[in-house]
Each structure stands twice: as C-alpha cells, then as structure tokens.
Amino acid sequence: MTDAPVATDRYFEPDAETMPRDRLEALQEEKLLGDLLPWAYARSPLVRSTWDAAGVTIDDVKTMDDFREKVPFVDKDAIRRFRDVGGDRYGGLLCVDPLRAGGPFTAVFSTSGTTGDPTLVPSGAAMERLLGVFELEKAVYELRYELNNRPDWVAIPVAGIVRMLGESVPA
C-alpha cells in the first residue's frame, strides 16, 4: 500500500496516473479481453444476440484490434429495441439473476428519459458502497484542490467529508 498523498503531490494515484502508455494499454487489454468481454458475452442477452447477429463470438476477439474491427457497437436505441421486442425491462444488459434469493439489488433507479424512454438502472448494496467510495474519493480530491488553490474554501469539502463519514458538522 502506498502512503496517502500529500497536498503538494501532483498526482493522487501516481502509479496509475503516470503509467507508461504501453503498460496502460496492456492493462486495458488484459482487463477488457480477459475479464469483461467474456463475462458480458456469457451473461448479457443483448451482447450475445448482437454479436451473434454480426457473426462474432468471444473466440474471435483476441486483440484490441479484433475488438475495434469485429465487435458490433451497441447504442441506446439497440438497448430500447431489445427491451421492447423481448420484454426485457433491463434491455438485455442485466448480467445477474434479479430473482435470486436475497437478490443482488437493493433498488432500481431510472434515467430521466429526457432523450427518449427512461432506462432502468438496478443498484445493489455493493454498488452503493462503491459509489460511496467514489464520492468520498472525489471529496478528498476537492479538499486537496482547495488546499492548493483556494485555502479559504477548505471548509466546504471538509464539511462534505465529515457528513459522508456520518459525523455531525460543527457550526
């Protein structure tokens, strides 16, 4: 584990933010081709049917060039079509069983639908914890920014961090 960043540090995560381009691309390729695509292809009805219609299987995608050249693009309209034709309220993107005992979700949200039909977005306890971590990370980033650029504003992100941690904010 690395030491916590100091307010004068240029990077929050130096190893990730300064990674050489070739290492970054290798990591992206490893995660996308080795983890994400096989998982989504095996579990997402929309991904599977879209790839099948294009004559592509997971075995056809070995490199990032294969991904760019062979994998069909899925846009919001394709998700809506899949939802409407197949009666799948999640548009074929849900990769877990929503009816599993104990259920993976604690809530289902919806987009506003300002550019079309609203889209359902399931949320589970793990997702809520993850979003909480991201929110806290963003608040700490804002604190660091204010310390470096506008010290008089530090109280704002500090109050947010304190609230996120469940403490009362002193007046």
Please check whether residues 18 and 81 belong to one and the same domain. Answer: yes
6 occurs within a structural domain: no
Number of domains observed in the structure of the chain: 2
Please check whether residues 38 and 117 belong to one and the same domain. Answer: yes
Decide: 116 and 76 in contact? Cβ < 8 Å. yes
Please check whether residues 84 and 114 belong to one and the same domain. Answer: yes
pLDDT digits (tens, 9 = 90+) for 87-113: 888 888 887 776 666 666 666 777 777
Instruction: Give the model's pLDDT for residue 141.
Output: 81
Please check whether residues 115 and 35 belong to one and the same domain. Answer: yes
| pLDDT of 55 strictly over 70 | yes
Please give the Cα distance from 33 to 70 (Å, whole number): 13
Dihedral over Cα of 119, 125, 128, 133: its sign = negative
pLDDT-above-90 percentage for the chain: 21
Please check whether residues 86 and 44 belong to one and the same domain. Answer: yes
Please give the Cα distance from 140 to 146 (Å, whole number): 10
The DSSP element (H or E) to which 131 belongs, if any, is helix 125-149
Range of the domain at 144: 131-164
Residue reference for tokens 């034709």: 85
Of 112, 122, 113, 128, which is closest to residue 90 (Cα–Cα)?
A: 122
Please check whether residues 115 and 145 belong to one and the same domain. Answer: no
| pLDDT of 167 strictly over 60 | no
Please check whether residues 62 and 93 belong to one and the same domain. Answer: yes
